[in-house]
Structure 1
Amino acid sequence: MSADGAWKISINTPMGPQEANANITTSGDTFTGEISSALLGSQTIQGQVAGDTLTWTSDITSPMPLTLEFEAKVEGDKMSGSVKLGPFGAGALNGVRA
């Protein structure tokens, strides 16, 4: 299933749910795109595609410097997975095509 397109994503964090918008373009076993949220700002992302699963990391500076590690499975118009939140454990990730 292709992950190409616009997504509305929700990430459960210790600071409560964080909403983000993402645009993804796949090319073989890689993808590029952009993700933006009110708290984390906007940044370019790139990662790996393995079947229906996307993985990538994002270095953020707000609300504090952290490296977030994403893993998301795409099933039709839904996305689910988790985000490793540095020393704060992991949070669930859910998304739908926008």
Structure 2
Amino acid sequence: MNRTSVEGTWDLTVSTPIGTLKAVVELRASGGELTGVAHGAGEKVPLTDVELDGDRLTWRQAVTKPLRLNLAFAVTVDGDTLAGTSRAGRLPASKVTGSRRTATSADGS
């Protein structure tokens, strides 16, 4: 799997002990590097340490809502879906699932 194969806008669902959270992650390949931002809970945060190793995608992000946390994501990408976990420090891992937005779903048709 190459970096451009994970580019796009992904709708994520994170099942946490305090409830299900929805987020949107935008991934772009630029100059051989993967970059991205996450939107959720009224904030937009940059992704750091974005790495793709085979079909395993990892990244880190800091959030302030609903709590101030540093999150580490590790997911497996399979076409237009992904599944894995998110960890916040010593807290138990939360299940993450996601799907890539297609051109038709992005424009509402």
Superposition TM-score tier, normalisation by shorter sequence: 0.7 to 0.9
Report if the CA contact (8 A) 2:71-2:89 is conserved: yes
Is the 8 Å Cα contact of residues 80 and 99 (structure 2) preserved in structure 1? yes
Q: What residue is the counterpart of 1:58 in the other structure?
A: 61
The two structures have a TM-score, normalised by structure 2, of 0.79
Instruction: Work out which of the residue numbers 2, 8, 20 in structure 2 matches 1:5.
Output: 8
TM superposition score normalised by structure 1: 0.86
Query: Comparing both chains, which one has the higher relative contact order based on Cα–Cα distances under 8 Å and sequence gaps of 6 or more?
Result: 1
- Structure 2 CA distance, aligned partners of 1:57 and 1:81? 14
Mapped partners of 1:94, 1:64: distance in 2 = 21
* Larger Rg, first or second structure (1 or 2): 2
Runs (4+) of structure 1 exceeding 4 A deviation are none
Say how many residue pairs are matched: 96
The CA RMSD over aligned residues, in Å, is 1.6
Secondary structure of 2:45's partner?
strand
The counterpart of 2:37, out of the listed 31, 34, 39, is 34
The equivalent position to 1:23 in structure 2, one of 26, 40, 43, is 26
Asked if structure 2 preserves the Cα contact closer than 8 Å seen for 1:32 and 1:45, the reply is: yes
Higher strand share: 1
Q: Which runs of 5+ in 1 are unaligned?
A: none
Q: Secondary structure at 1:87's aligned position in 2?
A: coil
Q: Distance in 2 between matches of 1:19 and 1:77?
A: 17
Higher helix share: 2
Q: 2:38–2:46: 8 Å Cα contact kept in structure 1?
A: yes
> Unaligned regions of 5+ residues in structure 2, if any?
102-109
How many percent identity over aligned positions?
32
Partner residue, 1:43: 45
CA contact (8 A) 1:14 1:88 kept: no
